[in-house]
Structure 1
Amino acid sequence: MRDQSSPSRPSRRGVLFGGAVVAAGGLAAACTSNAEPDDGGTAARGGTLAGDNDKPGKKVTIGFSAPAADHGWMAAIAKDAEAQAKQYTDVNWKPVEPTNDINQQISAVESLIQAKVNALVILPNDGEQLNQVARKAMDAGIPVINLDRVFPDKLSYRTWLGGDNYGMGVSAGHYIGKKLKDEGVSNPVIVEVQGIATLPLTQERSKGFEDTLKTYGFSVTDKQAAEFTVESGNEVTSNLLSAHKKIDALWNHDDDQGVGVLAAITQSGRNEFFMVGGAGSANAMREIKKGGVLEATVTYPPTMAGSAVKLARLIAQGKGMADLVELQVPQSITLASETITKANVDTYLPLGFES
């Protein structure tokens, strides 16, 4: 989730997982359940026995391209994708050098097309700018699994898999709205540390947050955009703290930049408000468990990369998802955004990525 318009900026982001991770785990299980069928051996309507998908099949080569791993969430994307691919003896894993340069990523994807891989998993620096090369792959008969940042042309991908940006805002809005309502706070000062304001994903998060707060009779008092970095999170939060002598709640879109957000809060000595994060990083979860200003984070799972590899393998081998009736893998899969609090943090902590 970083700036998709500037090659020098990291990309994407959003946030991890907790529930989303569970959602991704559920997806993985649905794709490749190892459980034996309980129907006496009757074949599933999808054409394969439930549980057969994980068994070695036709050897396939899966290409992978993503932005540089210079951000905790993005590093987890690359790690989860590779780890999943290595689970299969029938997958030849062919990643290209990660980069934040649009032209370099286009060239890297073109090299995978020339190599005639059987499927491509692509998390583009910018969906619009890589749309044409993804369409080139599809036209060449190579199914593209579009991860996270969507290509605008549906003919440019076989399946899209990603997180729910609007849902992140909804989850954060419900946590903050309900807590303030239950505490009888009227006219609360609610501030928001966004990611990059020009990105659609940031706009979707803010819209979900705004829409949900309205259901409680609240609104966002002030919001400022950061850049998904520790430094930008620190600077923006310092500005917000200076501008508002009293704050009731703060929502930060991204747990990686949240390291800077928390540092600014600690330096200010302010503790009259509570904070909700976004993504589900391990360090954010440890802060939640410890107790303090950070009370919750909403998920945006990098585990989606592992699920994308599973889907790429199934599609390349002509298989569907074992737990679905349909014969083919769905065209679009959106993971849930759930809320991690002190009450459930121990469940999600093993799934957190390191910022």
Structure 2
Amino acid sequence: MTRTNLGRRGFLFGAAGLGAGAVLVGCTSNEPEGQNNQQPVAGGQGANSEPGKQVTIGFSAPAADHGWMAAVTINAKAMAEQFSDVTLNATEGTNDVNQQIAQVESLINGGVDVLAILPFDGKALTQVARQAMDDGIPVVNVDRVFDTPLAYRCWIGGDNYRMGVNAGNYIAEELKRQNKNNPVIGEVAGIDSLPLTQERSQGFKDALQRHGFRVGPRVAAEFTPESGERQTANLLQGAQKLDALWNHDDDQGIGVVAAIENSGRSDFFVVGGAGSRNMMELIKADSGPVKATVLYSPSMASSAIAMARLLGQNKGLEDLAEHEIPAELTTYSAVVTKENVDNYMDVGFDS
């Protein structure tokens, strides 16, 4: 991933000086000049892109053993480099819960001003995050949520349920456009024991039901190309008829596409999930089964660093009336298609 991945989403939350700093009341009034008693509308706190107080941000995330997770750390580091008033102390990614706890404790003891943490296990990291909050260090919780809001000042993450909804809506509308009756719709999920997978599947099911359709053959993979290929091959062997397939994750989607190519089948289309550059290139080429992907963008890490900076400087989001950073920010799972793919290449990540 290059730094261009920050794009407009990387700077969405006040990092590019988008606002005017204050919202002015209208000039039209029936009152005589000088008699307008309206109060100014609350606004932001100046140009947030301008250098301010120096802020040291501690950053911790799991190991970069997955394209999406690797992009999280890449985006965080690249965003920090955009600010002359930010020093980023990033720990080495780890999937060892105890090691991540120790790393966060080290950041706390090192005197960081703000923490941005994507926990490998939200429940396990809750106590150390709460320790930081109790010590007066604001915590930006990224994606995998801690067990209590007392452990974070702000949460930013994706909308897993709506990701499934938007995938289901796109597939249903496309099948209706093709005049498909009683279509067979498959699903290659992620790890079924994870709440995020359950939420994605529920949203997918609910959206299809709304259109009068249902989920057909379904398998669960493990977010890896190998498991994606293996499980998709199993699904295709048992589904002689298939009209559409939703794959939850574009990293495992590499294997999903490989299994489809190996099968020689071309009787259905595929919608991916997360928004890898690999899948976006396939969508743009429009020469294979992949016709869309639903975003769950790692650019949320860029925004987390931008918000951590503002928290450290006691600023709000300059385009909003509130003086403080919101407690929660949920990213939107846009559907990327051939028609709009160029608009989203900037947030694509390498699988």
TM-score by length of 1: 0.89
Identify which of 75, 78, 84 aligns with 2:73.
78
CA shift for structure 1 position 67: 0.5
Closer, same or farther: CA 350–31 of 1 in aligned 2, 3 Å:
closer
Inter-partner Cα distance in structure 2 for 1:166 and 1:91: 34
Inter-partner Cα distance in structure 1 for 2:63 and 2:197: 20
Closer, same or farther: CA 138–178 of 1 in aligned 2, 3 Å:
same
Tell me the alpha carbon deviations over residues 4-27 of structure 1, each in whole angstroms, 9 at most, x when there is no partner: xxxxxxxxxxxxxxxx98883463
Which structure 1 segments of 5+ residues have no match?
Answer: 1-19
Larger radius of gyration: 2
Q: Does 1:209 align with 2:204?
A: yes
Inter-partner Cα distance in structure 2 for 1:85 and 1:43: 34
Inter-partner Cα distance in structure 1 for 2:177 and 2:44: 51
Q: Does 1:33 align with 2:17?
A: yes
Identity %: 55
Residue 112 of structure 1 aligns to a residue whose secondary structure is: helix
Inter-partner Cα distance in structure 2 for 1:188 and 1:165: 24
Inter-partner Cα distance in structure 2 for 1:161 and 1:44: 27
Inter-partner Cα distance in structure 2 for 1:168 and 1:244: 25
Inter-partner Cα distance in structure 2 for 1:303 and 1:80: 6
Alignment of structure 1 residues 1-355 onto 2, 5 Å: 24-25=9-10, 27-28=12-13, 30=14, 32-34=16-18, 36=20, 45-46=42-43, 48-49=45-46, 52-291=47-286, 292-355=288-351
Inter-partner Cα distance in structure 1 for 2:212 and 2:173: 11
Inter-partner Cα distance in structure 2 for 1:290 and 1:166: 29
Query: Which amino acid in the other structure matches residue 349 of structure 1?
Result: M
CA shift for structure 1 position 47: 5.7
Query: Which amino acid in the other structure matches residue 207 of structure 1?
Result: Q
Query: Which amino acid in the other structure matches residue 346 of structure 1?
Result: D
Tell me the alpha carbon deviations over residues 20-45 of structure 1, each in whole angstroms, 9 at most, x when there is no partner: 988834633x45525555868x9983
Closer, same or farther: CA 21–245 of 1 in aligned 2, 3 Å:
farther
CA shift for structure 1 position 156: 0.4
CA contact (8 A) 1:32 1:321 kept: no
Inter-partner Cα distance in structure 1 for 2:41 and 2:51: 18
Inter-partner Cα distance in structure 2 for 1:351 and 1:328: 27
CA contact (8 A) 1:31 1:322 kept: no
Query: Which amino acid in the other structure matches residue 314 of structure 1?
Result: L
CA contact (8 A) 1:196 1:225 kept: yes
Residue 45 of structure 2 aligns to a residue whose secondary structure is: coil
Inter-partner Cα distance in structure 2 for 1:90 and 1:343: 39
CA shift for structure 1 position 224: 1.2
Tell me the alpha carbon deviations over residues 281-309 of structure 1, each in whole angstroms, 9 at most, x when there is no partner: 11101111111211100101111111000
The answer to which of 52-61 and 122-131 deviates more is 52-61
Closer, same or farther: CA 23–301 of 1 in aligned 2, 3 Å:
farther
Closer, same or farther: CA 44–74 of 1 in aligned 2, 3 Å:
farther
Residue 275 of structure 1 aligns to a residue whose secondary structure is: strand
By relative contact order (CA 8 Å, sep 6+), the higher-ranking structure is 1
The answer to which of 337-346 and 261-270 deviates more is 337-346
Residue 5 of structure 1 aligns with which residue?
none
Inter-partner Cα distance in structure 1 for 2:21 and 2:324: 19
CA shift for structure 1 position 200: 0.7
| RMSD, aligned CA | 2.1
Residue 291 of structure 2 aligns to a residue whose secondary structure is: strand
Residue 129 of structure 1 aligns to a residue whose secondary structure is: helix
Query: Which amino acid in the other structure matches residue 172 of structure 2?
Result: G
Q: How many residues align?
A: 333
Closer, same or farther: CA 26–79 of 1 in aligned 2, 3 Å:
closer
Inter-partner Cα distance in structure 1 for 2:341 and 2:147: 36
CA contact (8 A) 1:233 1:257 kept: yes
CA contact (8 A) 1:193 1:251 kept: yes
Closer, same or farther: CA 322–186 of 1 in aligned 2, 3 Å:
same
Inter-partner Cα distance in structure 2 for 1:224 and 1:304: 28
Inter-partner Cα distance in structure 2 for 1:145 and 1:319: 14
